[in-house]
Structure 1
């Protein structure tokens, strides 16, 4: 029997709760510690999930010798500091998305992990979902021919009151980093980093994006039409169209229950989550991939490689450059992407 992989959870919000619930149902995983900025919050979370140790600071969790992997579940404005602290302490890290506020911070974390020989992965759980992996295999095996278009959207209706983090530039507010990261990551999973980025957005009085539309282009001629919103409940669907067919994913494309493959001259083929896994919140797959990689002595996951994460962050920077969204953490304008 392999020794359990011992997890620490950094932060105690909703995403941390969902991940911890999934983790506790995963064979070989053991949640041994949780940390928050306040000991009271950490103790409350530990009590709910039966976690043996609660820390009142991030540094205490990072220094905990019984922790193998830290799951960073803070809002993304704190990812650079929290993940960096854990990497410097020698911990493997699974960091929520958006990975950081900008590509510069993402490159700093990747560089730190590589210099330390430590494992680091973005918690882009969509990439580890078995049904998404099956879709990706079909596309790469040529089931659709040459990809011509990708479409995806993710929007929530809100409203979000004054002072909410989604309206605060200092906290990386706006639709793009919270929601737009999913459509962008989906398109780049299939097509890689785009060669051209166009974007338009409606901004809040605080200067964050409320609704953003993106048009990405590749030298192959492929395009992706993507959108995100914190003012409208969009369909949250995705479609991939190629020269020989298309794949349609209904609502919830980032954790699909099913998708349908349409090919010329053939009956539509439906693929369902029940064929490949399913259950819980869907985060157990990324946790299982982290555990596999850590046990194998790997410092990156082939399913969620750091270069892919950095490429997505460069695209998000380019979108913000075109729409005029700036965060205090930005040291200057994002690089021109054409």
Structure 2
């Protein structure tokens, strides 16, 4: 009989609601508890999803012996501290992207995962979506030749609130960590680790990046261009160009069900996959698959991949002048 994995959620916000809905779409899982610093919010969230327990502090949930896995859905600035507490208490962790504010914090989390022999993965849900699996296969099969160029953007016009999580640097605000991580992830997934990064950005008066752009260069001569923005809408499309063909990923590319590709000199082939009902269920299924196998990281989204992603974001932030509250000079 398959084990039923009992989940806890830290931070009952909008993204946590989508995650809880995805749990209902996944076999062998159950929402066991939710925690918030505001008990009334936790209770309201728990009531919306059946018989889950509600806690008014995070420590109570982490110490709940019934819980197997914890999903961290708080603002970026709190991920490191909360994940470390979970891992020290032997709770498996799925931490919302970005894993932490910077690479130094990510290293602390990876070390805690290894020392405690406990699963830890960044919740980069796009990695597990069907469209990306299809695109990766097309590339691995050599259908478009050697990939030489990747371009991806993600921008939308957010309501400006300097004290909100999107813009407050005390919470890890800015476009890069919140949405720029998606185009950067795609470049790293397809091309690997960059050898040279050149970045530019536009900061608000509080020091958060309203927009961010980077050119990524690779050892084999390939290149990537990424853009993110919180003050204007972009196309939200992506393109992957190889020596013998091209892939165009439709908007919104990070959660699409459609793309098209062609070999050089041939007609475009359109790929239409079933619409995403939610999308988060695929990363949940990967967590369960890894836990069933006794793994502490996902082979599809290894911890080393997350660390490299964070290191590249650190370099981009260094170049555009974004520094978060509480970061030391070493970080």
For normalisation by structure 2, the TM-score amounts to: 0.98
CA RMSD of aligned residues (A): 1.1
Distance 1:52 1:73 in 2: 17
- Displacement after TM superposition at 1:16 (Å): 0.1
Count of residue pairs the alignment pairs up: 331
* Residue 256 (structure 1) aligns with: 256
Q: 1: distance between equivalents of 2:159 and 2:56?
A: 32
CA–CA separation in structure 1 for the residues paired with 2:223 and 2:251: 21
Deviation at 1:285, TM superposition (A): 0.1
**Residue 70 of structure 2 corresponds to which residue in structure 1?**
70
Q: Determine if the alignment matches structure 1 residue 303 to structure 2 residue 296.
A: no
Which residue of 1 is the match for residue 216 of structure 2? 216
Q: How far off its partner does 1:304 sit?
A: 1.0
The separation in 2 between residues aligned to 1:174 and 1:304, in whole angstroms, is 24
How far apart in 1 are the matches of 2:289 and 2:168?
Answer: 37
SS in 1 for 2:254: coil
Q: Is the 8 A contact 1:321 1:333 kept in 2?
A: no
Correspondence list, 1:287-302, <5 A: 287-302=284-299
Per the alignment, residue 79 of structure 2 pairs with 79
**Equivalents in 2 of 1:124, 1:26: separation in Å?**
17
Please give the secondary structure, in 2, of the residue aligned with 1:215. Answer: strand
Q: Which residue of 2 aligns with 1:243?
A: 243
Show CA shifts across 1:246-291 (max 9, x none): 00001111111111011123322222222xxx43220000000000
Q: What displacement does 1:140 show?
A: 2.2
Query: Per-residue deviation at 1:333?
Result: 6.0
Cα contact 1:101–1:329 (8 A) shared by 2: no
Deviations 1:273-325 (CA, angstroms, capped at 9, x unpaired): 22xxx432200000000001101111110111100000000000000000011
Return the TM-score normalized by structure 1.
0.96
For residue 255 of structure 2, give the secondary structure of its aligned residue in structure 1: coil
* Structure 2 residue runs without a partner (length 5+): none
Moved over 6 A (4+): none
Partner of 1:271: 271
- Counterpart residue number, 1:322: 319
Alignment of 1:29-108 (within 5 A): 29-108=29-108
Q: Distance in 1 between matches of 2:173 and 2:219?
A: 32
State the distance in 2 between where 1:188 and 1:329 align.
Answer: 28
Aligned partner of 2:146 in structure 1 is 146
Q: Is the counterpart of residue 188 in structure 1 residue 188 in structure 2?
A: yes
- Deviation at residue 3 of structure 1 after TM alignment: 2.0
After superposition, what is the alpha-carbon deviation per residue over 1:123-181, rounded to whole angstroms, capped at 9, x for unaligned? 00000112111111211222211111100000011231232222211111111000100
Contact residue 70 and residue 93 of structure 2 kept, 8 A: yes
CA distance in 2, matches of 1:179, 1:144: 28
Distance 2:34 2:149 in 1: 43
Query: How far apart, in 2, do the equivalents of 1:3 and 1:313 lie?
Result: 33
**1:213-261 deviations in whole A, cap 9, x for unaligned?**
1000001001001000000011110000010000000111111111101
Q: Which stretch has the larger CA shift, 159-168 or 66-75?
A: 159-168
